[in-house]
Each structure stands twice: as structure tokens, then as C-alpha cells.
Chain A
Amino acid sequence: MPEDRSLSDPRDLNGAGLALLRSVALRAEAAQRLESELQTTLLRSIVGTTVAIFEAEAASIALYREGSHSLEFVIAGGAQGQGVVGLSIPADQGIAGYAFTTGESIAIAEPERDPRFGKDFSAETGFTPRSILAVPMRSGAQSIGVLEVLDKRDGTFTMRDIAIASVFADQAAVAIQVGARALEARNLLHAILTGDLHQGTEPDAVDDVVSAATRAQSGDDRFWEFVDAITRLRRARPEDRALAIDILDAIGRHEARAAQRRSFSRHVRR
């Protein structure tokens, strides 16, 4: 391979290299699409369980967004939870901000006694909680988000509640990290390309190669339609899913027979 080879176009790679690159990119992309659905389901389930255990009015998960240095509420559950999804707060302020910044849990109660407490945020969500428990979601020593529980039905949050919520927050953090693995596969591609394969390659050029390789899969062939359809099936009723499996199975068997016939006819022609 020439030393000064440009990598702005995947066609510059040799056939085997490109095939490998595409295969890795394809798997990363497919895993990401499938996992994100699974991850959301898992996070919803964690939030739902949190609401049930504490008999809380609401529970929510806010994730850190580095660009805006904010915490964005992405999942919520409970009777009073939904208004919060999509809202963002500064990552260093308020109860959630404290838990995020310090990596330490905090439980407070009866803020409605003082109308100045959390006024702005309450106005946006239309809900003023009586008690709040905020637990950091951590990846190692790093905070990646916050699990918040609002208004426990019976009294205020106890030390034991803090410990229990921490277990849920840990689960949520694991779910988030599993989702991040798919992204890491892409990053790994970058690492391989920048490191062993083509030393001295500009990062922009590597970006181009990776996105071109990924794009090549999402162009003419209907692969992504297929992935999306499978993803939707996760939400289907069991009987519909059974039907879809039967259909896919029939197509698979048909394709196997067709391949057999093709192979046979090639053989005969020879």
C-alpha cells in the first residue's frame, strides 16, 4: 500500500479491507439500532419499578449532555412524571445537579412549604413535589446521569430508600453503558484505522471512511428497512410476533431451497 494514500474514499481500500470495514460498521450500526430500543425498554422498566417500590408520584432518569453541560430528562414514569421528559436543567444546579456533581445521593422533603424552592422547574412541569430523592448514576468514578424519585406516598425518604434507589440507579447506569458499547464499536473502527492500518491519517479522513462505509450499507439495499421492521416487531403483540416469525421462517426455507436449486443448475451446466 503506498505511503501517501488518501483515505477520503473507501474505494481506496483494497477489497478485503473494505469488506471487513463494512462488516464491522454494519454490525455496529445494527447493534446500535436494536440496542437503543432494548435500552429504552429497560430504562422504562427500571423507572416503573422505582415508582412501584416507593409508591411515588413520579420517577425519572436524566442523562448528562456534555455539549450543553445539562441534565436532560429522557425517561419518566408515574402519574406526575410525564411532564418532565425533554426538559433540561443546568448540570450543576438543584437537587439533581447536586447528586450529579458530587456523585452523592440526597433526599429532601416538604419544599412546598417555601414557594421559592425549585420554582422555575415546577412551573414548567406543572408539578411541585413534596419530597425528592436524587441518586447519581455512575460509570466508575464518573457521573453519567441522575435517577430522581418524587413524592413517596408514605412519609419522607429514609436512608434505606436512598440505598434501594442506588441499586436502581446502578442498574440504569449499566443499561446506559451497554448501549454505549455499540458506539464504542464505531470508535474502535476509528482506533484501528488511525492506529495500525494507516498511521498518520488525518482524523477527518478517517471519519469520511467510516461514514462512507456505513452509508454504503444504507443506500440502495433495503437492509435498514429490514432492521427497522425487526425493531418494530419487538413491540408487537405475541400473536403478531409469532406470525412474523412463521413468515420469516417460510422465506428462509424458500431462500435455502432456491440457493440449492441455483447451485444445482450451475453444477449441471458445468
Chain B
Amino acid sequence: MTAERPPNATAGILPAWSEPFLRERLPELTRRRPFETAAPEWFGSKGEGVTVAIVDSGVEGDHPAIGGRLIASVRVEMDDEDEPVVIDDNSIDVVGHGTACAGIIHALAPSADLVSVRVLGKKNTAKGIAFARGLHWVVEQGIGVANLSLSSGSEELFAEFHELADRAYFENTVLVCAASNTPGRSSYPSLFSSVISVAAHDSPDPLTWYYNPRPPVEFGARGVDVPVAWRGGASIMGTGNSFATPHITALVARIRATYPDSTPFEVKALLAATAATPPQRSTGRSRRSPHSAQEPS
């Protein structure tokens, strides 16, 4: 193997969902004509009056990056009959991952209230059913925005997640979901059309996001070497679609603060309309492939 390889030599093993947002492919993300004049200033709020749920490993409430905005914490546990139940939780994080997401959201939408829904932990390891219960709870509570930087690979739960995603959509809860970091892997509900799915681009600007008109993954946000809060008051750098997602979640909180009655459909359209204008190819020639680079798994 030589040290120097052409950029496309390993295309087969590139992360499928982030591929549309690689620098050399950004020019393919052409803007839609009616969207060309839209600007992010349309929703210049800080997320005031909006509650955002972080469905994850918990959120460390006293972490400086959260700014005291965590107003509630619950967790999902399996009861004696192995049924998932939602109970009050201390504001803790068993990994650091949920705190990382909450920190990003707080940085971009500092007036939004945060609610932690912990679905990871000893008694519900790898149980998609606990995740589904947590998501159900968020919709029941009428929380307007949820950050799901995790997903379920369980085919058995496909129907349940599909129904949940639809229910959230109809009840005005916007689900912002990380695409799986691994191509070809089931990841629910992130692959459903009713949610806002997010992968990573490698630009360091937290307020640059792209719209990909070739789904399933529609948005790209900062997700490489992101400085994030972590467990134990720490701060680290994280890479992955997990960290791209809360950037979009924060934008949704801002849109919802400016347009409180906006539906998930309208929120998504606004996000697409205000996405960054992709750089133009220096050659001026379009190199768009006849097929999408992504295959739904």
C-alpha cells in the first residue's frame, strides 16, 4: 500500500451517510431555486420558550456547558416484568455522550430548556424497547424537539419506531436523529422520512449546515473534532454523526422559538431553505453520479 492514495480510492468504505458532505462532494448539493434567498437570520432567536429532550445516556446537570438549563431528568428502566417504565432520575450521565449533545444544543440555543431522557444504563443495555419507551414519553409530554444521537438496529422494532416517528410528526414533536456511523446498518428511527436525519461534515463552523436533496440523510452539520462537554465536568473532542445532530437540534429550537406553530414539515423546509450554499466546483462541470451514493439499508 502506498502512502499517497487518490481521494476516491477507498470510496467503498467511506461512511455512507456522511459522504455527501465530504468537501469534494459539496458542490453536488445544489440549492433549490425557491430557497436561494432564505437566510438563517429568519430565526435569530436563542431558543427561548422551547423545551428540548435529549434521549441519550443522561445529562450531567451541573456541567458548566449546560448553563443550568436542565429542568428535568427521567430514565427508562425495565420493571420486574421486563416492561420499560419511565421514572425520575438524578441529573447524571453514565457515559458523557448525552452531556456532549446537551452542551452543543445549549451553546447554540442558550435559552432553550433541556430535559434528559436516559435510555442507557445497567438495566436496559442494548434494549431498543427502552429507547422506544423514552421516545414515547417525549411525545406524550408534548416536548417540541428531541435530539436522538442514537438509534436502534432492531428489525423487530421497525414497526414500533415507524409508528412512533409518525406519531411524533403528527403531534408536532420534531425528532432530530443521527444517521448511523456505519454504512449498511439499520438505524431507526433515523432512516424514516418523518424525522430530520443528520450526518457529519468536517468544517469547523458550528453554524454551517448543508441540505442533501438525495435522502435518506438530509442534513450535514459539524461532526468532526467537535469540542464537547463530557462526564465528570470534563471536556473532550468528539467525532461522529452523534455530535453533528445536536447542531441541527439547536437550529430547530431556534426556528420553533421564532415560529412556535411551525410543523415538523415546515421546520424541515426552513432548515433546507436556510442551509449553506455549497461551494462551486472550480471546473464548473457537474460530476453528479446518476445514482445516489447511498443505499438505504
Identify the A interface with B (CB < 8 A).
69, 90-95, 97-98, 100-111, 113-114, 116-117, 135, 138, 141-143, 156-160, 162-164, 166-167
B235 touches A113 (CB 8 A): yes
Q: Does B97 sit within 8 A of A, measured CB to CB? A: yes
B234 touches A159 (CB 8 A): no
Q: Considering residues A93, A97, A98, A103, which has the most beta carbons from chain B within 10 angstroms of its beta carbon?
A: A103
* CB < 8 Å neighbour of B14 from A114, A138, A157, A160: A160
Bound CA span A34–B126, Å: 32
Q: Does B181 sit within 8 A of A, measured CB to CB? A: yes
Chain A residues with CB under 8 Å of B14's CB are 159-160, 163
Chain A residues with CB under 8 Å of B237's CB are 108-110, 156
Bound CA span A97–B10, Å: 29
A108 touches B236 (CB 8 A): yes
Q: In the assembled complex, how far is the CB of residue A143 from the closest CB belonging to chain B, in whole angstroms?
A: 6
A164 touches B13 (CB 8 A): yes
Bound CA span A113–B230, Å: 12
Chain B residues with CB under 8 Å of A109's CB are 225, 236-239
Q: Does B262 sit within 8 A of A, measured CB to CB? A: no
Q: In the assembled complex, how far is the CB of residue A227 from the closest CB belonging to chain B, in whole angstroms?
A: 36
Chain A residues with CB under 8 Å of B15's CB are 159-160, 162-163
A162 touches B125 (CB 8 A): no
* CB < 8 Å neighbour of B238 from A69, A91, A92, A108: A108
Q: In the assembled complex, how far is the CB of residue A63 from the closest CB belonging to chain B, in whole angstroms?
A: 14
A107 touches B57 (CB 8 A): no
A104 touches B151 (CB 8 A): yes
B126 touches A100 (CB 8 A): yes
A119 nearest CB neighbor, chain B only: B232
Chain A residues with CB under 8 Å of B150's CB are 102, 104
Chain A residues with CB under 8 Å of B125's CB are 69, 91-92, 100-101
Bound CA span A167–B183, Å: 10
Bound CA span A139–B10, Å: 25
Bound CA span A158–B235, Å: 19
A133 nearest CB neighbor, chain B only: B239
* CB < 8 Å neighbour of A113 from B94, B126, B233, B236: B236
Bound CA span A111–B235, Å: 8
A-contact 0/1 string along B5-32, CB 8 Å cutoff = 0000010011100100000000000000
Main secondary structure of the interface of B (DSSP, over half): loop
Q: In the assembled complex, how far is the CB of residue B284 from the closest CB belonging to chain A, in whole angstroms?
A: 28
Q: In the assembled complex, how far is the CB of residue A79 from the closest CB belonging to chain B, in whole angstroms?
A: 21
B224 touches A101 (CB 8 A): no
In the A-B complex, the 8 residue pairs with the closest CB atoms: A114-B234, A107-B239, A116-B232, A109-B237, A105-B181, A141-B153, A98-B95, A163-B15
Main secondary structure of the interface of A (DSSP, over half): mixed
Q: In the assembled complex, how far is the CB of residue A174 from the closest CB belonging to chain B, in whole angstroms?
A: 15
Of the four ranges (under 10, 10 to 19, 20 to 34, 35 or more), the interface on chain B belongs to 35 or more
* CB < 8 Å neighbour of A94 from B13, B95, B151: B95
Bound CA span A201–B125, Å: 34
A-contact 0/1 string along B247-278, CB 8 Å cutoff = 00000000000000000000000000000000
B181 touches A104 (CB 8 A): yes
B200 touches A159 (CB 8 A): yes
Chain A residues with CB under 8 Å of B154's CB are 141
Q: Does B144 sit within 8 A of A, measured CB to CB? A: no
Chain A residues with CB under 8 Å of B18's CB are 159
B13 touches A167 (CB 8 A): yes
B182 touches A69 (CB 8 A): no
A114 nearest CB neighbor, chain B only: B234
Q: Does B121 sit within 8 A of A, measured CB to CB? A: yes
Q: In the assembled complex, how far is the CB of residue A149 from the closest CB belonging to chain B, in whole angstroms?
A: 12
A102 touches B238 (CB 8 A): no
Given contacts A103-B153, A109-B237, contact A98 B181 (CB under 8 A): no
Which B residues from 117 to 174 make CB contacts under 8 A with A? 120-122, 125-126, 128, 150-156
A158 touches B234 (CB 8 A): no
Bound CA span A164–B13, Å: 6
Q: In the assembled complex, how far is the CB of residue B64 from the closest CB belonging to chain A, in whole angstroms?
A: 12
Bound CA span A92–B118, Å: 12
Q: In the assembled complex, how far is the CB of residue A53 from the closest CB belonging to chain B, in whole angstroms?
A: 9
B94 touches A117 (CB 8 A): no
Bound CA span A108–B237, Å: 5
* CB < 8 Å neighbour of B234 from A91, A107, A111, A167: A111
A-contact 0/1 string along B87-103, CB 8 Å cutoff = 00000001111000000
Q: Does B240 sit within 8 A of A, measured CB to CB? A: yes
Q: List 15 A-B contacts (CB under 8 A).
A: A69-B122, A92-B122, A100-B126, A101-B125, A102-B150, A103-B153, A107-B239, A113-B235, A116-B233, A117-B231, A117-B232, A117-B236, A159-B200, A159-B223, A162-B182
A-contact 0/1 string along B209-250, CB 8 Å cutoff = 000000000000001110000111111111110100000000
Q: Does B186 sit within 8 A of A, measured CB to CB? A: yes
